[in-house]
Structure 1
Amino acid sequence: MWNLAVAARLAAVQQVHLRPVFKAKCVTFVSLMEIVKCLHLKARGEVYPCSEVLRFPVPDDKVDWAVPWTNYNPVDYTAPALLKQPSWADPPYRNPCGRTGLKGRGLLGRWGPNHAADPIVTRWKKEGGKTVTHNCSGKPILQFVAICRKDNKEWAIPGGMVDAGEKVSATLRREFGEEALNSLELAEAERQGVKELINLLFEAGEMVYQGYVDDPRNTDNAWMETVAMNYHDETGDSVGKLALHAGDDAGAVKWMDIEKEQNLYASHTHFLHQLVKGRNAHW
């Protein structure tokens, strides 16, 4: 049965996903049903990350909580490391996008939404000082800073969790500096210079997405939500010229062309698709 807390969460998610992707001329709206159909796939992966736990299989037509399923028997799993820590007082929630085949918190620290922030730093691909266009679409090619995650070797946006009491804007700056530029290992003078460039670029960002993420760590009771912001270096003269160095959480980092064939971590390909539509770039 749905309770008031679950209904409130679903209403909030519905409102979030009807936000415009950009405030400029190109406005894209994303409905909750599109999110369910497009994003709730990796959250049903057979093997739960960093474990040998198998999810209870959930077919596409049984994802929706509104569909009766008396035989649904999700596996109960919370990582042992989390069980050793004090539990937050949050009551168990129900995943707003449907069944995942696993209950508990898995690898996530909180019941319900676990908040992250994803900075999408972009520039136009250039050769010989000229912007490169794609042979088929004729549209300019957009590049973004991508990291290779150490835990699963998948390429991703260099984002991370929002610390308690931290503003999302601070998380976006911190995660990009730590994961893509390895700012923690820089000399103090160099670190300050990098910080100034990041602060300058991050003053003007565009929201690409906010809400539920199809993360492989999601469960029936805990899931990821994020704010994905685009910070675009139009001329390529600021962050676009910085040397990229992978931080502790990244195995590698590079400027990557944005293209349709990419299979990135979680919902990151979906975020980039929304971005290129807003900037009329190649997909």
Structure 2
Amino acid sequence: MKWYIIFMLIGFKESMLLKRMVHTKCRGVLYPFSDVKRLQIKDEQVHWSVCVSDYDPPEYNSKALVNKPWADPPIEDKSFKPKWNELDGDINRKSHTGTYRIVNGRPLNPEGRTGIKGRGILGKWGPNHAADPIVTRWKMEGNKKVISNTTNLPILQFCAIQRHDCKQWAIPGGMVDAGEKVSETVQREFREEALNNLQVSKEQAEADEKMIRNFFKNGVVIYEGYVDDPRNTDNAWMETVAYNFHDEDGSHVGKLNLTAGDDAQNIQWMDIDQNIDLYASHSNFIKAVVERLKSHW
């Protein structure tokens, strides 16, 4: 009986590990913004430790990246000598997941196969670092929090943008620029995507500027690591640091009128519940905020 229990625990641990490693959103049939089809693989074939002798996915490298100053050159460029797993000048080539392998001169996705090689439409080979500011406030009626009839917990809202590219709702995040601190990125991205062209007086603009700077000093890290992003490939992938910035009484950023920036089609304070469906791994980040603030789900 004792050995049976141990066996079951080991099996459970292994199944949970496999579940964590399985890609979903980065294994769609078509690679984003292309007509290139991914090689379809089974869940149990995702991890590199599993031998798939005939695994030979197509390669895709977007022509839109050619000669872009923020993008890496082609991997075969002899002048391209990146320092993998290190700070490479102003470029952070470290991964939150730890040390990733280099095979045949290419970084290997630490979470496994995606059905396509190359770097797709991502600017960097290896990890591409982003930052996601999850800005939240309570849903209010007058001076009272709105309580859910099903859970008897207060309903939380977050600043959500609708992306232009795929029309999905998302957290207003973005890429970390070379040499930029993640804390600077989250504030910049929120300004660009959620507070575009606010129509206020000069005095009000200065007051809002000070308020925003102070508000973004108090973020709580919700997640840092790999992101199951549809743009991921076998040799390039997204990673992020997600922060929660909560406006408890709605008197700071929570009171501002949101205005979508160039990267957002629409923007709103979105109610949070278990039916929320967001871009990439954003729903998981939101769920972590719900657990932290003990709100309705």
TM-score, normalising length from structure 2? 0.80
For the pair 1:265 / 2:279, whether they are aligned, the reply is yes
Within the candidate set 219, 224, 230, 2:233 is matched to 219
- Residue 181 of structure 1 deviates from its aligned partner by 0.7
Tell me the equivalent position of 1:240.
254
Determine if contact 2:159/2:267 at 8 Å carries over to the other structure: yes
Residue 71 to residue 191, structure 1, CA distance change in 2 (3 Å): farther
* Aligned-residue offset at 1:49: 0.8
In structure 2, relative to structure 1, the CA distance for the partners of 1:32 and 1:243 (3 Å cut) is: farther
Q: 1:282 to 1:166 in 2, by over 3 A?
A: same
Distance 1:209 1:33 in 2: 20
User: Residue in 1 aligned with 2:223?
Assistant: 209
> In 2, distance between residues paired with 1:96 and 1:188?
49
Q: Report the equivalent of 1:179.
A: 193
Mapped partners of 2:269, 2:53: distance in 1: 48
Q: Conserved in 1, the CA contact under 8 Å of 2:18 and 2:44?
A: no
Inter-partner Cα distance in structure 1 for 2:47 and 2:234: 11
> Which letter does structure 2 place at the counterpart of 1:45?
G
The residue that corresponds to 1:155 in the other structure is 169
Residues 126-174 of structure 1, C-alpha deviations (whole Å, 9 max, x = no match)? 1122101111111111100000000110000000000000011110100
Q: The residue matched to 1:274 in structure 2 has which SS?
A: helix
Q: Quick one: structure 1 residues 163 and 135, their matched pair in 2 at CA, closer, same or farther if it must change by over 3 Å?
A: same
| Deviation by residue 1:254-280 (Cα, 9 ceiling, x = unmatched) | 000111111100000010111111111
Tell me the secondary structure at the aligned position of residue 275 of structure 1: helix
* CA distance 1:184–1:34, shift in 2 (3 Å): farther
Identify if the C-alpha distance between structure 1 residues 188 and 34 changes in structure 2 by more than 3 Å, giving closer, same or farther.
farther
Once the two structures are TM-superposed, the CA of residue 32 in structure 1 deviates from its matched residue by 6.7
| Number of the residue aligned with 1:57 | 40
- Partner residue of 1:66 out of 49, 69, 89: 49
What is the rounded CA distance, in whole Å, between the counterparts of 1:152 and 1:192 in structure 2?
35
Q: State the AA in 2 paired with 1:59.
A: K
1:280 match: 294
1:40-80 deviation line (CA, Å, top 9, x unaligned): 21011111111111111021111111111011111100101
How far apart in 2 are the matches of 1:187 and 1:82? 40
Aligned residues: 251
Q: Cα distance, 1:36 vs. partner?
A: 2.0
Uncovered stretches (5+) of structure 2, i.e. residues with no partner: 1-15, 74-79, 83-104
Which among 146, 163, 179 is matched to residue 160 of structure 2? 146
Name which of 42, 61, 65 aligns with 1:78: 61
Distance in 2 (alpha carbons) for counterparts of 1:138 and 1:228: 27
Q: C-alpha separation between the residues in 1 aligned to 2:221 and 2:58?
A: 36
Check if 1:36 corresponds to 2:31: no
- Looking at structure 1, the residues matched to 20 and 240 of structure 2 have their Cα atoms a distance apart, in angstroms, of 13
TM-score, length-scaled by structure 1: 0.84
**Contact 2:117–2:235 (CA under 8 A) maintained in structure 1:** yes
The runs of at least 4 consecutive aligned structure 1 residues that moved more than 4 Å come to: 31-34, 183-191
Give percent identity, aligned residues only: 54
Give the residue type in structure 2 aligned to 1:244: L
Report the aligned-residue RMSD.
1.9
Q: Deviations over 1:188-210 (max 9, x none)?
A: 65543332221111111111000
- Is 1:89 aligned to 2:74, yes or no? no
For structure 1, which runs of at least 5 residues remain unmatched after alignment?
A: 1-30
Contact 2:198 2:259 in 1 (8 A): no
Counterpart residue number, 1:134? 148
What amino acid sits opposite 2:29 in the alignment?
E
Asked if structure 2 preserves the Cα contact closer than 8 Å seen for 1:119 and 1:159, the reply is yes
